[in-house]
Amino acid sequence: MDLKYTRKNVYKEADGKELKNIYDFAEGYKKFLDNSKTERDASREAEKLALENGFKPFSFAEKLKAGDKRYFLNRDKNIFLIRVGKEDVSKDGIRIMVAHVDSPRLDLKPNPMYEDAGLCYLKTHYYGGIKKYQWTALPLALHGVVMLKGGKKQEICVGEDENDPIFYITDLLPHLAGEQSQKTLGKAIDGENLNAVIGALPAVGDDEEKECVKAAVLKLLNKKYGITEVDFQCSELCFVPAGKARDVGFDGALISAYGHDDKVCAYPEMKAIFDCDSPHTVVAVFADKEEVGSDGTTGMQSKVICDVIDTIANSFGANPIEVRYNSKCISADVTAGYDPAYASAFEKRNSTFMSCGAAVSKYTGARGKSSTNDASAEFMGFIRDIFDDNGVYWQTGELGAIDIGGGGTVAKYISNLGIDTVDVGVPVLSMHAPYELISKADVYSLYKACLAFCK
Ligand code: MN
Ligand code: MN
């Protein structure tokens, strides 16, 4: 018996076969990431994969039975994957896993388009917690939908294909940035300066027109997508970093990509519900709006999750209240991995480390644990036993040192429903940066953790 606890590095412990499993799993994850830049992209990708895995569309009017596999795509931005088990849902409850698929980005303003000095721009309003200076001078892609007059939905995705153009937000050259360099990091780039260049070619013969570049770009947009300027007011378009997920390091043990937070948890929970053969009823959720507070019809503060639970309960004549009280939830979200370059932001004994497995956070919050779901000792004990019994590498830590900052997840919204919930995720470096860093060992460990939880 080990009297002392030591955190283990998964790569050190793994044999050749396990190492192959880790690297193979990462290939599927990278492919998923590349197709899942926004919550719409991720939900649609999940729908595609769910159909391939034998899941069928869910209906609130349906009476479910054991063995049913269903998916509920909520307004194209939030998806519930449902696997009905043999166990009595009244006594056994539901095993719920929730990860969010929205990530920090630059949304377009409702009246985004203007021309200045021969360049055409789109104005943005940032979404989620970003360091604004990180979003200039890098290749951006445009993703989203525009509603045309009359109800046609036009999808747009430009900047991901090698032959596509990309979009670009300028920064000031260092030669002239003396004044800018004196500003604090948070103020160096103004939010109103996050305007992306989208064109520079004036319309031929339109020399007299005041905004001839803007006019020319509008003509292009109208030809390609049928949109006019006013249609931006009925759109959800955003700029995200262009390009694909890439291996990092000579050994390729890490992955850098946009949106690890929180697709690095969404992918393992989705794979787990596809791969498990569980007697329990299992639900995996891709949530929207986490980065802005989880409000709205597609966020985890919405009643929709209760509606799904109620529908499952009613199918078996069970009391939904009883079902919720006997349910258990993994709130799968990333945490801040220990970064030796910024050691003072962390407390080393209570940090999570890269490649040391799934990161369990008993509590999150700020200052005196404000606004946290603090998982009970009993539920932590339950989680420890199922992880240890199934060979899951896991570690535990806090998000940074006390009073440095803090953060929250959707855990509290689920536990507020009377469902035991704990945060289990993946440590990330450079969280919320355009390109974040994770370890292949950790995303695979979370997959094994989710499988163990479903089992
Ligand atoms: Mn997150
Ligand atoms: Mn986040």
Q: Looking at the CA of 129, which ligand is closest? A: 2
Question: Strand 235-241 and strand 105-116: pairing?
Answer: antiparallel
Q: Residue 116 corresponds to which amino acid?
A: D
Q: Can you give the pLDDT at residue 135?
A: 98
Q: Can you give the pLDDT at residue 203?
A: 82
Q: Looking at the CA of 98, which ligand is closest? A: 1
Distance 62 CA to ligand 1 centre (A): 32
DSSP state of 37: S
Distance 432 CA to ligand 1 centre (A): 9
Distance 212 CA to ligand 2 centre (A): 40
Q: Looking at the CA of 263, which ligand is closest? A: 1
Nearest 5°: the CA angle 370, 371, 373 is 115
Which of these, 391, 450, 442, 455, lies nearest to 422 by C-alpha position?
A: 450
Phi/psi at 406 (nearest 5 deg)? 140, 180
pLDDT tens string, the chain, 455 residues long: the values are 889 999 999 999 999 999 999 999 999 999 999 999 999 999 999 999 999 999 999 999 999 999 999 999 999 999 999 999 999 999 999 999 999 999 999 999 999 999 999 999 999 999 999 999 999 999 999 999 999 999 999 999 999 999 999 999 999 999 999 999 999 999 999 999 999 999 999 987 755 568 899 999 999 999 999 999 999 999 999 999 999 999 999 999 999 999 999 999 999 999 999 999 999 999 999 999 999 999 999 999 999 999 999 999 999 999 999 999 999 999 999 999 999 999 999 999 999 999 999 999 999 999 999 999 999 999 999 999 999 999 999 999 999 999 999 889 999 999 999 999 999 999 999 999 999 999 999 999 999 999 999 99
Distance 334 CA to ligand 1 centre (A): 5
Distance 409 CA to ligand 1 centre (A): 6
Gap between the Cα atoms of 97 and 87, Å rounded: 18
Distance 286 CA to ligand 2 centre (A): 14
Which H/E stretch holds residue 384? helix 377-389
Q: Looking at the CA of 431, which ligand is closest? A: 2
Q: Looking at the CA of 266, which ligand is closest? A: 1
Which H/E stretch holds residue 382? helix 377-389
Q: Can you give the pLDDT at residue 368?
A: 94
Q: Looking at the CA of 128, which ligand is closest? A: 2
Specify burial of residue 340 (Cβ count, 10 A radius: 0-12, 13-18, 19+).
Answer: exposed
Q: Can you give the pLDDT at residue 204?
A: 75
Distance 158 CA to ligand 1 centre (A): 25
Cβ atoms of residues 319 and 325 within 8 Å: no
Ion ligand 1, residue ranges at CB < 5 A: 261-262, 333
Gap between the Cα atoms of 61 and 315, Å rounded: 9
Distance 164 CA to ligand 1 centre (A): 30
User: Could you tell me how many residues make up the chain?
Assistant: 455
Question: Strand 105-116 and strand 119-127: pairing?
Answer: antiparallel
Distance 296 CA to ligand 1 centre (A): 17
Distance 246 CA to ligand 2 centre (A): 20
Tokens representing 250? 């000579």
Distance 389 CA to ligand 2 centre (A): 30
Q: Can you give the pLDDT at residue 394?
A: 98
* Token pair 């258990």: residue: 328
Gap between the Cα atoms of 89 and 328, Å rounded: 12
Phi/psi at 331 (nearest 5 deg)? -85, 105
Tokens representing 314? 């009613």
Q: Can you give the pLDDT at residue 207?
A: 59
Q: Give residue-wise pLDDT tens across range 383-428.
A: 999 999 999 999 999 999 999 998 899 999 999 999 999 999 999 9
Distance 333 CA to ligand 2 centre (A): 8
Gap between the Cα atoms of 225 and 154, Å rounded: 7
Tokens representing 307? 């509606």
Q: Can you give the pLDDT at residue 112?
A: 98
Tokens representing 431? 């969280």
Distance 104 CA to ligand 1 centre (A): 9
Q: Can you give the pLDDT at residue 346?
A: 97
Distance 265 CA to ligand 1 centre (A): 9
For residue 145, what are the contacts with CB-CB under 8 A and spacing of at least 6? Answer: 40, 153, 154, 155, 156, 235, 236, 237
Tokens representing 397? 């830590």
Q: Looking at the CA of 361, which ligand is closest? A: 1
Provide DSSP, 417-444: TT-EEEEEE-EEBSTTSSSEEEEHHHHH
Q: Looking at the CA of 333, which ligand is closest? A: 1
Q: Looking at the CA of 262, which ligand is closest? A: 1
Distance 167 CA to ligand 2 centre (A): 24
Cβ atoms of residues 38 and 105 within 8 Å: yes
Distance 39 CA to ligand 2 centre (A): 13
Distance 33 CA to ligand 1 centre (A): 15
Cβ atoms of residues 285 and 273 within 8 Å: no
Distance 325 CA to ligand 1 centre (A): 25
Helices 260-275, 16-34: crossing angle, 10 deg rounding: 120
Q: Give residue-wise pLDDT tens across range 32-72.
A: 999 999 999 999 999 999 999 999 999 999 999 999 999 99
Q: Residue 6 corresponds to which amino acid?
A: T
Gap between the Cα atoms of 108 and 99, Å rounded: 25
What's this model's pTM, rounded to 2 decimal places?
Answer: 0.98
